Structure 1
Amino acid sequence: MNEKLSTDRLDRRKFLSLAAGGLAGAALCTPAASLARVPGANDRLRLGVIGCGNRAASLIEDMSGFAKEENFEFAALCDLWKPNLQKTLARIKELTGDIPRTFPRYGDLLADKEVDAVMVTTPDHAHTPILIAACEAGKDAFCEKPMSMNIAEARQAVDTVRRTGRIVQVGTQRRSDGSYIAGAELVRSGALGQVSVIDLKWNDAGPRWERPYEDVKPEEVEWEGYLMNLPSRPFDARRFRCWHLYRDYSIGVVGLLGAHHTDLVHWYMDDPFPESVTATGGVLLWKEREHYDTIECAFKYPKGFLVNYETRFGNSSMRAETVLYGTQGVLDTTTWIMTGEGRVLPERLEPGNRQYPTTPFAMHEGAGKGEEIKLQPNPRGIDHMRNWVECLRTRQSPNATVENGFSHSLAAIMAHRAADTGRRIVYDPVKRDLKEG
């Protein structure tokens, strides 16, 4: 086994003793089931928010619209940056009238027995550690994507959620969207025939994730708490605000953006783990960053299809975001139109009739477009956070599970390691580990 690929960045013992702010010595020694309040059908759910940045703000705005109907409140907030905490507190008061308790360290929030469930909307490097700590503390959780930055953390997240029996929703919200549900049903029905290639793109034009940071004052930031298990370093406002650009705090573009795409592949094709990945990338345009601004990846899956993934920040043009090519047609998730374009014509399969056009374009024109089908959103579509809140009461599995989070994290981890090493990265589903091959 390649030692580099199997090394776990997270020192669990150090994390549990230091980062959880006292939680490790008490709650983590007690079975999670005994820590959790079990809300009844009419009980008011009490939610905590860990990480009060832009993503949390968007989710809170959305959830405030059904807070009364679903009978929940925002009971607690945690953020390492005082301005974020104060801004979010004021906005929740304005939206719902709730007055949440505030904490600078997540361990203190998790120790609050008045909190039933938490939303983990932090920078990427904190997702899995806080998710695991929440489950151990008897809290259900929503965890933003990408769920994990390395495979050891991803394994531990799955194992912890299963062992503790907590309800965990991961932030790949397309699984709750009616249009994407309709697409999944179409693909799984066999209407596209055998899908052999899927093209995925997420492009932009500009230095994405560059943010102003001049207003960040060190006295307003819990810097050591932000670093968590990482080596201590002097306060750096740019690393704090522009965390997406740095390898310590983010997995890179295939996780930050591509997690939505690879999750869709796993869902539509019912094939949760890439078999292997090759990739190439670089910081080609926007030099003030550690992560690639351009990357191309080629995934191979066990069921026998290929996936091409591309992100570039030098030109935002993309004809479509996700396209599935099957023997009976093409599905474009930008337009939600399926056509028979490029399909295999029955006469081409007859032994005596296998003449081939002399150019690729003639071959394509000969296939024609056939019937065009416009997909309509499936009525089972639901707001992703509402699905999570409902599952907190019913104890049913939510639409985006921790296992789904493992899968999209795995794809991103494999892709970036392939690009970094120039080697083909292979997944072993029995050992749940990676190797070069």
Structure 2
Amino acid sequence: MRTTTRRQFLSDAASVSAAGALGGCATNATHEPVSAPLIAPPPTPPREEPVVVAANTPGRRALGANDRIQCGFIGIGNRGGSLLDSTLKLSDVDVVAVCDVYDGARDAALAKCKQKVADARAYVVFEEMLAKEQLDAVVIATPDHLHAPAILAALECGRDVYTEKPMTLTWQEALAVRERVQSNGAVLQVGTQLRSMPMYQKAREVLQSGGIGKLVMVQVNRHGWGGHTRPTPPGFNPSQVRWDLFLRDTKEYSFDAQRYLNWRRYVEYSNGAAGDLMLHHLDIFHFITGCAMPPRVMSVGDIYHIQDGRTCPDNIGVLLEYNEKYHFNFAASFVNGHFGLVERYLGSEGTLEIRDMSELAIYRGRRNSEQLEKVGSAGILNEPHLRDFFSCMRTRKTPIAPVDAGWMGATCCHMSVLSEQSGQSAKWDAATNSVKV
């Protein structure tokens, strides 16, 4: 058993052999190998560094209509705990294994799982869980810098994957994950749950049917929202954290409770407001419009007001320019939350306005617009998105938030960060599948 560093995993993703993968993954003789990829890879343009992917992957069990899905969880903190609670409600899924670097979170999760599966087991190292457990699926809700290593390890073992957003921290990792999924036929769902909300599906229907004319621009303001400041949970015991597994191959630090609990503040583990907040709305914009990768992203931001040691900005402004002749404009401040959250789709003949991800208003006209319809929402729920993932595992169909969406969203967020850090535009080079700054 080994842990994979960020420097190693991209190389491993390109060159791991079938024998090596089988040696590190639990297998079942009744599993059937996948003979063709679920998503056919698009024609690959010339690349500076061609990616060579293993020809074979470990066997994947063909799930019948009555088979119970065997699921493992990697990361059971705030978000992972919520996903676990929702998954435990599903009648056809058993959570048989959980993994977390913090004893308190892991023990609490295991106790919940044992109420449904008496012999559920807990692990500290996710590679060990993948090696020992005969899983069909893995749900990943770790801090963002650990997404790619966990995803690629699960894919090597022939598991289908549900991962929290962003799919990866960097555009290079996103490309590696996308190519691996395309090569081995895995089902991968990204946890951008707005896609599974009827309200946003209605917005997509209106826009794509020409209900507001030609789209001109999208403006999203999301202010306030906590500033990535989580209080220390009751009973938190730093001695029960495997700090080395949290850091993995990032810069060495002595244990820091703020880095562990509020990791979204720090550039080593997160893309800050871009990867946490903007991506929700950017991904649903991609879903609603069906657009391609933006060729240019421009971003500004800094730590203007909150002096608590964070390294991610407390204010950002991002502009993404699309070849479809519209742009997406996002602004967020952790300091002033008076205006909250609003998403506006401005068309040549009307407007869509979504407030607090809970109410869609449809307007006709450019000025003094007439409100045609208002659509409410039951809220952001885990279950519909999880059900879509588990259903696609059985049918081998493409889920509603597939790997291509995860690749595009993660790449855009990283481009935003690279632009903010460099003071220059970040550009997508389609000829080489790479980002240039």
Give the TM interval when normalised to the shorter protein.
0.7 to 0.9
Query: Does the alignment pair 1:372 with 2:393?
Result: no
From 175, 191, 210, the equivalent of 2:195 is: 175
- SS where residue 132 of structure 2 aligns? coil
Residue 287 of structure 1 deviates from its aligned partner by 1.3
Alpha-carbon distance, 1:179 to partner: 0.9
Aligned counterpart, 1:11? 7
Question: Is this contact kept in 1: 2:224–2:340, CA < 8 A?
Answer: no
Equivalent residues in 2 for 1:100-111 (5 A)? 100-111=120-131
Equivalent pair of 1:184/1:267 in contact (CA under 8 Å): yes
Q: How does 1:5-404 map to 2 (within 5 A)?
A: 10-12=6-8, 26-27=23-24, 33-65=57-89, 67-68=90-91, 71-94=92-115, 96=116, 98-204=118-224, 206-212=226-232, 216-288=236-308, 289-318=310-339, 320-334=341-355, 335-341=359-365, 343=366, 367-370=367-370, 372-375=372-375, 383-404=384-405
| Contact 2:10-2:173 at 8 Å conserved across structures | no
1:92/1:325 Cα in 2 relative to 1: closer, same or farther (>3 Å)?
same
Q: How many angstroms apart in 2 are the aligned matches of 1:412 and 1:303?
A: 19
Question: Runs of 5+ in structure 2 lacking a partner?
Answer: 26-52
- Aligned pair in 2 of structure 1 residues 156, 257: CA closer, same or farther (>3 Å)? same
**Following the alignment from structure 1 to structure 2, what is the Cα–Cα distance between the partners of residues 205 and 333?**
17
**Which sits farther off after the overlay, 398-407 or 427-436?**
427-436
CA distance in 1, matches of 2:63, 2:300: 49
Whole-Å Cα distance in 1 between the matches of residues 168 and 277 of structure 2? 14
C-alpha change, 1:319 and 1:287, in structure 2 (3 Å) is closer
Q: Give 1:72 shift.
A: 1.4
Per-residue CA deviations over 1:215-239 (Å, capped at 9, x if unaligned) read: 6545422222222222444333321
| CA shift for structure 1 position 269 | 1.5
The answer to whether the Cα contact below 8 Å between 1:174 and 1:180 also exists between their aligned partners in 2 is yes
Give the Å deviation of 1:111. Answer: 1.2
What is the match of residue 424 of structure 1? 425
* Secondary structure of 1:392 counterpart: helix
- 2:98–2:122 contact (8 Å) kept in structure 1: yes
Which moves more between the two structures, 200-209 or 109-118? Answer: 200-209
SS of the counterpart of 2:145?
helix
Q: 1:432 to 1:326 in 2, by over 3 A?
A: same
> Quick one: which amino acid aligns to residue 87 of structure 1?
A
Letter matched to residue 370 of structure 1:
E
Secondary structure at 1:321 match in 2? strand
Please tell me whether the aligned partners of residues 21 and 57 of structure 2 are also in contact (alpha carbons under 8 angstroms): no
In 1, Cα distance between equivalents of 2:152 and 2:81: 23
What TM-score do you get using the length of structure 2 for normalisation?
0.84
Contact 1:197 1:306 in 2 (8 A): yes
SS of 1:290 mapped into structure 2: coil
Q: Deviations over 1:315-357 (max 9, x none)?
A: 112265210000111101223111124x2xxxxxxxxxxxxxx
Which residue identity lines up with residue 276 of structure 2 in the other structure?
A: L
> Which whole-Å CA distance do the structure 2 matches of 1:24 and 1:229 have between them?
22
Tell me, in whole angstroms, the C-alpha distance in 1 between the residues paired with 2:175 and 2:12: 17
**Residues of 2 paired with 1:422 and 1:211: CA distance?**
33
1:423 is paired with a residue of what secondary structure?
coil
Structure 1 position 371, deviation (Å): 5.0
Whether contact under 8 Å (1:286, 1:293) holds in the other structure is: yes
AA at the equivalent of 1:374: K
Q: CA deviation at 1:31?
A: 6.4
Q: CA deviation at 1:10?
A: 2.9
The 8 Å contact of residues 118 and 140 in structure 1, kept in 2 or not, is answered as: yes
Larger Rg: 1
Instruction: Work out the CA distance in 1 between the residues paired with 2:205 and 2:177.
Output: 29
Q: Aligned-pair distance for 1:368? A: 2.8
Which letter maps to 2:368? G
- Aligned-pair Cα RMSD in Å: 2.6
In structure 2, the CA distance between the partners of 1:50 and 1:72, relative to structure 1 (3 Å rule), is: same
Provide the TM-score with structure 1 as the length reference. Answer: 0.84
Contact 1:89 1:99 in 2 (8 A): no
TM-superposition CA deviations, 1:282-309 (whole Å, max 9, x none): 1112111111110011111110002110
Q: What amino acid maps onto 2:411 in structure 1?
A: L
Query: What's the CA shift for 1:245?
Result: 1.0
* 8 A Cα contact 1:47 1:119, kept in partner: yes
- Give the 3 Å change call, closer, same or farther, for CA 214–98 of structure 1 in structure 2: closer
Query: Shift in Å at residue 32 of structure 1?
Result: 5.7
Query: 1:351 maps to which residue?
Result: none
Instruction: Read off the aligned partner of 1:53 and give its amino acid letter.
Output: G
The answer as to whether partners of 1:298 and 1:308 remain within 8 angstroms in 2 is: yes
